[in-house]
Amino acid sequence: MARQRPPDFLDRLIAGATKVFAEKGLKRARMSDVARQMGVAHGSLYNYVESKEALFYLLVDRGAEPVRGWAPKTWPVRTPSRDRIVKRLREQIAAAFRLAQLDAALERKTVPDVRTELEGIVRELYERTERTREPAAVITRSAADLPDIFKLFYVEVRRDVMARLTRYVQSRIERKHFPPQLDPSAAGRFILETVTMFGRHRYADPDPQPLDDTEVRETVVRLIVRALVLEQKGT
């Protein structure tokens, strides 16, 4: 007779593994750390995943925003190759960070309202960053020890977002929407780093402040727009 799995076990496994990998990274984490975090016997995890690499792949395959009722096709999840982990991670990051507002702005020939345009870009980037902050913590901590994941996240993904933001700033300087003295690369990085700080890193602050998440987001949006958009004469 097949072993019955507790209905909440997958959610608990995901939560426990996310916390452990975010703290230690894939290289340093142990299955016993995850079992301890969950409050279950170490051996029980192997009914679900073959190894810690399989558990890491489970997090990656699930994605930052999984569909309702998602579950692996087969149990236990088998140990994947590192290439398979990186390939699936690349797919999931690309899906999570499709920045439609930014891409549309880069294609736009005329800009009727740059303030509204920039608000949309920053708000979309902030919301994606905030929603994916826990998986991102797992990836960035693991990237510290694993060159292939470091290359994917920092060299490929992060540089690509900064390059797109830089092109956007440059184009709006050329159209005289942003101040001409701005350095496009610095301004693009200013947008990304400010959003990352408030949308992700502040949640890991050891001395967190009681801030309303919506108010924080909207304040960040307003401040970035005010810093970059030239005031029109007569306004």
pLDDT per residue as tens, the chain (235 positions): 345 667 789 999 999 999 999 999 999 999 999 999 999 999 999 999 999 999 999 999 999 877 888 899 899 999 999 999 999 999 999 888 889 999 999 999 999 999 999 999 999 999 999 999 999 999 999 999 999 999 999 999 999 999 999 999 999 999 999 999 999 999 999 999 999 999 999 999 999 889 999 999 999 999 999 999 998 654 4
Listed residue (99, 98, 105) closest to 169, CA to CA: 105
Residue 4 lies inside a defined structural domain of this protein? no
Question: Do both 64 and 174 map to the same domain?
Answer: no
Is the pTM here over 0.85, yes or no? yes
Question: Do both 125 and 194 map to the same domain?
Answer: yes
Residue 233 lies inside a defined structural domain of this protein? no
Question: Do both 132 and 224 map to the same domain?
Answer: yes
What's the pLDDT score for residue 118?
98
What's the pLDDT score for residue 64?
85
Domain boundary among 80, 109, 130: 80
What's the pLDDT score for residue 233?
55
Question: Do both 218 and 150 map to the same domain?
Answer: yes
What's the pLDDT score for residue 223?
98
Question: Do both 68 and 129 map to the same domain?
Answer: no
Q: How far is CA 212 from CA 32, 71, 127, 207, 218, in A?
A: 36, 33, 14, 15, 10
Domain count, the chain: 2
Rounded to 5 degrees, φ, ψ at 231 are -70, 130
Q: What is the rounded radius of gyration, in angstroms, for the C-alpha atoms of the chain?
A: 21
User: Which CATH number fits the domain that encloses residue 65?
Assistant: 1.10.10.60
Question: Do both 66 and 143 map to the same domain?
Answer: no
Residue 235 lies inside a defined structural domain of this protein? no
Question: Do both 150 and 194 map to the same domain?
Answer: yes
Query: Residue 58 belongs to what domain range?
Result: 9-80
User: Which CATH number fits the domain that encloses residue 209?
Assistant: 1.10.357.10
